Amino acid sequence: MSEERSIDEFSKELWQRAANNEGSIRADAYVALGRIAFDQGKFKESLALCETAKEIFERESVSEYEREIFDVNVGLSKNYEKLDRQQDAAKALGDAIEAAKAINIEELDDLLRDQGRYWFAAGQYENSIACHQEAIVQTEMFLREESFGIDYFNIGMGLFELGRYEESRDAYLKSRSAFKSHDEIDYVVECDFRLSEIYVELKDPVNIIHHGQKSLDFYTVLRDDRKVWTLKYFLGVAQRLLGELEAASQLFEDAKSLAIAMGWKEWKFLIKVDTAIAELFEINGMHEQAVEILRRVKSVEELAAEDEFDEAA
């Protein structure tokens, strides 16, 4: 209670300081109030306070208050992130990065990585890729501790979302190499998982198996069921591409059995697996069974679409 009371008393002092002063003193008070609101989970209030402080600093003198403008833009980006306004978070951090360049802050690579993550979350994949590419340049320029594994991993994610699978593969291979050089095995295996998915898209069964089996062994030991059933599906695709239909069928059934335990929330994955099983039935001349599976798939898709509509309403 005493701590809460002291925060309340400090907040009152800050409000009085803001009311009784002008210019940067008032802006500093708003920034401090914004930090208190943020720590209390009042992100909309914190956002409003930061915006007001920024307006005051910019009205006073952009060149004189570059550090303050940098700090307040970082604060804005964090509030936008908490409010799930990722595009606004990326833009605010962009303003912070411009201010950081003016005052020669060396941690530009870290800021660019955060901005890249915001852009990715906002679905702006080209912008995300550009941020991580620039982060690599800044890391090398200032001889900072490298984070190439993270940068190339996130570049690979963006390229995958854009359907640029060969470029995504190359980025993940660079990421894997960087992580391996630092003995970060969990990230190495995550790269193998992502590479398996890419090789599914590229219809390359040999490399699906090469990377997929490594990550399947790892995630089986860790009992990461979601990764396990996804990898079994990938390996099933590889076996189908190789013409090993019985092995493919078994892997698809294994993937389906594991995923069913999660219930309807895994319906998209289950539909993917059932569609693959239907394709095997068609190849084996079992047309009626394939048609029946695809009928059920369509029915589930329609039901799921209705459920999503009801939730949105």
CATH of the domain at 31: 1.25.40.10
- Is residue 154, in this structure, part of any structural domain at all? no
pLDDT tens track for 220-232 = 999 899 999 999 9
The values of phi and psi at residue 90, to 5°, are: -65, -40
Using CA atoms, how far apart are residues 33 and 36, in angstroms rounded to an integer?
5
Using CA atoms, how far apart are residues 216 and 276, in angstroms rounded to an integer?
20
Q: Would residue 36 be called left, alpha or beta, if left means φ above 0 and alpha means ψ between -120 and 50 degrees?
A: alpha
- Is residue 177, in this structure, part of any structural domain at all? no
pLDDT tens track for 65-99 = 899 999 999 999 999 999 999 999 999 999 999 99
- Is residue 130, in this structure, part of any structural domain at all? no
Instruction: Give the pLDDT confidence score for residue 169 in this predicted structure.
Output: 98
- Is residue 12, in this structure, part of any structural domain at all? yes
- Is residue 172, in this structure, part of any structural domain at all? no
How many domains does the structure of the chain reveal?
Answer: 1
pLDDT tens track for 238-280 = 999 999 999 999 999 999 998 888 765 677 888 888 888 888 8
pLDDT(306) > 70:
no
Decide if 43 contacts 89 (C-beta within 8 A).
no
pLDDT tens track for 93-140 = 999 999 999 898 888 999 999 999 999 999 999 999 999 999 999 988
- Identify the DSSP state of 106: S
Instruction: Give the pLDDT confidence score for residue 313 in this predicted structure.
Output: 33
- Is residue 38, in this structure, part of any structural domain at all? yes
Q: Which domain holds residue 26?
A: 1-105
pLDDT(39) > 80:
yes
Instruction: Give the pLDDT confidence score for residue 22 in this predicted structure.
Output: 85
Using CA atoms, how far apart are residues 154 and 126, in angstroms rounded to an integer?
11
Query: What are the structure tokens assigned to 264, written together?
Result: 């309807």
Q: 15 or 261: whose pLDDT is higher?
A: 15
Cβ neighbours, 10 Å, residue 78:
19
- Is residue 84, in this structure, part of any structural domain at all? yes
pLDDT category of residue 201 using cuts at 50, 70 and 90: very high
- Is residue 63, in this structure, part of any structural domain at all? yes
